[in-house]
Structure 1
Amino acid sequence: MQKSFSESYKAAGVDVTAGYRAVELMKQHVARTMTAGSIDGIGGFGGMFELDMTGLTRPVLVSGTDGVGTKLRLAQIADKHDTIGIDCVAMCVNDIICCGAKPLLFLDYLAVGKNVPERVAEIVSGVAEGCVQAGCALVGGETAEMPGFYGVDEYDLAGFSVGVVDRAKVLDKTAICPGDAIVGLSSSGVHSNGFSLVRKVFGIGEDRSFDKQVPELSGSLLGTLLTPTRIYVKPMLALFEKIAVKSVCHVTGGGFYENIPRALTKDVNAVIHKGSFPLPPIFPLIQKEGNIPERDMYNTFNMGIGMIAVLPAAQADEAVRILNGCGERAQIIGEVMAGDGSVVLD
């Protein structure tokens, strides 16, 4: 069989053989993500997945897509590429779980200035780890070599996920009423949002001159900022099994003020008690270094809470117990009051 190779294309900056090598290197990582619904490995024209209809009366597919954003620049500066894929998966599956859906499959899109197979495989290893944490299969993806569009050490990463939930179990925020409790799940740090502001505050350019050991961070600034986004899928699925959760919010870009209202109705407010949850030290550092008003902090970052659940007050303590039993740091952080769909911080 004649192997695919183009000397002319390689001279233009695209090495198709490097792409084949990258696929071979990533196969071991993709294999870790295979679930019962997985039909075929990577390399085909489409990723196939068999939907198990057991227990589903009216299955609803829920999809989500997102990228990592300018946090990618930090991974490239650090030459550390094995965790950024976790962020990519997290930004998609954490959105899907807000509808009550279980993520089933994931696909990634990686655009590179130069295809370095080992680096591509390292990036995909993080995507695979994120899929394992979310319990979904990595069924396919695309690596595009784009010389002249990206620098040789630059790349962009985005993803797409599909989940399923029975129609009767789709979370219904219209059931929220005054007196409901708000439970927050702690974040692992900045996650993958607000990095344009982070980069401005710390003067992050094209090298590591900004990086330093910071005593209050118990480590380096770069290492802290590269901490992967926490994936909340499995703990939230466990919570749905036991608790009548009414609404869930993934706290991403836009922070509290933009995201929490999306999980509310127009006749209630979410009252959040700022002192009820631990504030990761990276946030006071960002605020101090950038001289940023407190409202802007809560309107940009997750401030230590990556996901919230609104549920009956009588079940709040049990919800915290379930989530903490799944390895989370959960706490009651507020309550619902009559209002106009706003967030109130006190």
Structure 2
Amino acid sequence: MRSFSDSYRAAGVDIEAGYQGVQLMKRDVERTFIPGVVSDLGGFGGLFAPALSGMKEPVLVSGTDGVGTKLRIAQLLDKHDTVGIDCVAMCVNDIICCGAKPLFFLDYIAIGKNDPKKVAAIVSGVAEGCVESGCALIGGETAEHPGMMAADDYDLAGFSVGLVDKPQIIDQKKMQAGDVILGLPSSGIHSNGYSLVRKIFNVEHANLNLYSNELGETLGEALLTPTKLYVKPVLAALEAAEIHGVSHITGGGFFENVPRSIPDGLCAKIEKASLKTPPIFKMLASMGSVPEHDMFNTYNMGVGMTVIVSKETAGAALDALHANRCAAYPIGEVISGEEKVSLC
């Protein structure tokens, strides 16, 4: 018997649209499957059997996050196939900070009215992020919220689990003065500070499709550029060099995130002049009269991740990062001090 409910549909929830969405996204989901995936799409739980041979003490590492109000830009532009990359990146980029390899990912979409094609477009971005990170999309949920959200509204969040051998967890206690700080370039604003972005650019009334000579693209394209994924480059650097700390530069910018990888008694001295800052940040600061401190305390300013490496192996780390299409470069060094981060 076909599953349907006219009563539920009259209340605003179309379960048949949900089934259609699953069929539309199936091909994208399946292209993320890696060894270890046990279940197919549609079960009550996603099953994954990790390969543990050779590991002394396997440790699971989890991370969860969402895309935030950047989704409003996607809604205004009616472009939904990139925000899924943001969702994956915000989770797996956190997991990699301790040296773990992401294994699998699950997404959650809350939407005012289920539009199967829109949901499939969102999930296509999630799948793309998973493929680029080498992890599997093994499940998810789409929930229709009539009466709580406008029909065109949706929110997107996700959850990822990774694996690392306990002896291989990045040990910040090995950090010492003289270690080199590498900056891994961001692709732009990533997925943080968009409440301020939307206020400064007045996005509800701005022409997001207007080409900007300063940006070299439209404002909408610049604001919707997906978050860069750092999993494969950082894993390669971990194999090649002695890494003492990794920080994902998200909300809170440099002042909140860099100290999370710095032990007491040491300070990350970062040379501001060395940073390769994209023009979108200069535009934000200028149009919004945002003080420099607030910019560095809100945005990544062109550096989406910092990697702290021993001076002796910094060259090997750079080679590994460059070989994995990450144009990393030195942005400072570790010094003695109690401040944890200093921008000079």
Query: 1:175, CA displacement in angstroms?
Result: 1.1
List structure 1 segments (4+ residues) > 6 angstroms apart after TM superposition: none
**SS of corresponding position for 2:160:** strand
**Which residue in 2 is equivalent to 1:77?**
76
**Which residue in 2 is equivalent to 1:18?**
17
Equivalent of 1:212, from 177, 185, 210?
210
In structure 1, C-alpha distance between the alignment counterparts of 2:208 and 2:5, rounded to whole Å: 42
The CA deviation string for residues 86-106 of structure 1, in whole angstroms up to 9 with x for no partner, is 000000000000010000000
Q: Is the 8 A contact 1:264 1:341 kept in 2?
A: no
Over aligned residue pairs, what C-alpha RMSD do you find?
Answer: 0.9
In structure 2, C-alpha distance between the alignment counterparts of 1:171 and 1:111, rounded to whole Å: 35
Structure 1: tracts of 5 or more residues without a match: none
In structure 2, C-alpha distance between the alignment counterparts of 1:100 and 1:165, rounded to whole Å: 7
In structure 2, C-alpha distance between the alignment counterparts of 1:57 and 1:316, rounded to whole Å: 27
Q: Is the 8 A contact 2:321 2:328 kept in 1?
A: yes
Equivalent of 1:316, from 279, 298, 314?
314
**Which residue in 2 is equivalent to 1:202?**
201
Equivalent of 1:284, from 259, 282, 285?
282
**Which residue in 2 is equivalent to 1:139?**
138
Structure 2: tracts of 5 or more residues without a match: none
**Which residue in 2 is equivalent to 1:227?**
225
Query: 1:3, CA displacement in angstroms?
Result: 1.2
Q: Is the 8 A contact 2:208 2:218 kept in 1?
A: no
**Which residue in 2 is equivalent to 1:87?**
86
Query: 1:174, CA displacement in angstroms?
Result: 1.3
Superposed, 1:289-308 pairs within 5 Å as: 289-308=287-306
Using the size of structure 1 for normalisation, the TM-score is 0.98
In structure 2, C-alpha distance between the alignment counterparts of 1:129 and 1:210, rounded to whole Å: 25
In structure 1, C-alpha distance between the alignment counterparts of 2:300 and 2:180, rounded to whole Å: 19
**SS of corresponding position for 1:216:** coil
The CA deviation string for residues 282-329 of structure 1, in whole angstroms up to 9 with x for no partner, is 000000000010010000000000011111112112211211111011
Q: Is the 8 A contact 1:67 1:158 kept in 2?
A: yes
**SS of corresponding position for 2:214:** helix
**SS of corresponding position for 1:246:** strand
The amino acid of 2:75's aligned partner reads Q
**Which residue in 2 is equivalent to 1:35?**
34
The CA deviation string for residues 124-166 of structure 1, in whole angstroms up to 9 with x for no partner, is 0000000001100000000001111111111000000000000
Number of matched pairs: 344
Identity rate of aligned residues, in percent?
A: 56
2:232 pairs with 1:238: no
**SS of corresponding position for 1:283:** helix
**SS of corresponding position for 1:52:** coil
Provide closer, same or farther for how the CA distance between residues 208 and 40 of structure 1 changes in structure 2, counting only shifts above 3 A.
Answer: farther
**SS of corresponding position for 2:85:** helix
2:166 pairs with 1:167: yes
